[in-house]
Amino acid sequence: MDHRKIPSFTVRPGALRAGGSRALLRVAVGFALVLAVTGGGPSGSSVSLAQESSTSPGGAVIVPTPGGSTYTLMQMNLCLSGFARCYSKVAYPAGVQEAVARIRDARPDAVTLNETCRGDVAQIARRTGYHLRFSTVTAAGESLPCVRPGGRGLFGDAVLTKAAIESTDSHDFEAQAGIEWRRWLCVTTRVRVDVCTAHLATRSSTTAAENDAQCAELAALLDRRAATRTVIFGGDTNRRRACAPKRAWTRPDGSADQAPGLQYVYGIGALRSPAAAVLPARHTDHDVLLVRARLTLPSHSPYRSFPRPLPELLSPR
C-alpha cells in the first residue's frame, strides 16, 4: 500500500454559487485537463445488465507536462433506491441532475456509481455521452425496483466510461450480511484499463466479519485482473481500511464532510502519481471523490492531454 503524501483538496462551499461550478470543478482534481478519445469521445452510450456472470492534506498541485497522459475516475454514491433514509436529500430528480452536472464539468475517463437505479444511470449516460454497464443488486433473493417514483428500473451499481467497453464481469461476493446481497462489477475498455466498482456490506459489530471477507475477496479479484491489465477501482467499501492489493495505491475521501473515509479509489499497473480531490454533494449522503493519475501507456495510445493554467480556487485541507 502506498502511504506517501499526496495533494488532497476540498472545494470551498461558497465557490459553487451560480456561474462558478464549471471552472471550479475542472480545477478540483488539481489540474485543468481535456481528455479525448480519437474521434472526439464516445458518440453515444451503451447499456447492458451485468447480473449474469461473463467469462493528505496540503502539498503542491501537480499539473501534467505537455504530451503526458492522465486517467481520471469519479466515484459517487447516489442513494437513489427510494428506500434508504438518505433519500430525502436526493430530492428526486435533483440528485440525478447533480450527477450529470458533476460529470459534465469534470469529464472523467470513468465514473463508478453505487446505490443507483438502472433507468437513472441510463439517463445519466445518455446525457453525458458515456458507455454504461449496470449490475443488479438483489434483496432477499429478488431484484429490487426503485421507488418514489417507480418506473426507474432496478437497484444496483454501475460503471460509466468514455472509452468503449469490450467485456463485463459481475458476481455476488461469497460472504453476505443482511438481505442486500453485495456484488462487484468490472469492465474492460478499449484503452486497456479495467474499471471496477463495489459497494460492500455496512460494517457494524454484527457484520464486521462479512465486510472483512468481502474486502479480502475484492483485493484478490483486483490482484488477479491486474496480472495482465491496468486496473482502477472506485467504490463505497463502508470501512476506513483499504481493500486493495499490497502493490496498489489507495486514495480515500478522508476530507469529505459527509461520511468521510468510506469511499476509495485504488490503482494498479500503468497508473502513477495519483492526486485526489473531494467535491461537496448536496443531493446525497456522500461527497464526490475524484482521483487523477498519470497513465503510462505506449505512445500510440489515443489519450493526449492539454494542460491549462491552474487558478487559485482550491482550499487545501
- Mean of the per-residue pLDDT values of the chain: 81
Relative to beta strand 183-189, strand 193-198 is: antiparallel
Per-residue confidence band for 299, with pLDDT thresholds at 50, 70 and 90: low
How far apart CA 97 and CA 102 sit, in angstroms, is 9
Write the CA distances from 309 to 61, 184, 215, integer angstroms: 12, 38, 40
Residue 104 has pLDDT above 70, yes or no: yes
Q: What does the angle CA 60 – CA 226 – CA 7 come to, to the nearest 5 degrees?
A: 10
How far apart CA 317 and CA 315 sit, in angstroms, is 7
Task: Return the SS3 of 232.
Answer: strand
**Residue bearing the bigger pLDDT, 74 or 9:** 74
70 Cβ partners below 8 Å, 6+ apart? 31, 33, 35, 64, 292, 293, 294, 295, 303, 305
pLDDT for 262-282, tens place per residue?
999 999 999 999 999 999 999
Region 212-222 average pLDDT:
98
265 Cβ partners below 8 Å, 6+ apart? 73, 75, 232, 233, 234, 250, 251, 274, 276, 289, 291
pLDDT for 6-53, tens place per residue?
344 444 333 333 344 443 344 343 333 333 333 333 333 344 444 333
pTM across the whole model: 0.77
Cβ-based neighbour number of residue 304 at 10 Å: 14
DSSP letter at 16 equals G
Residue 202 has pLDDT above 90, yes or no: yes
pLDDT for 119-170, tens place per residue?
999 999 999 999 999 999 999 999 999 999 999 999 999 999 999 999 999 9
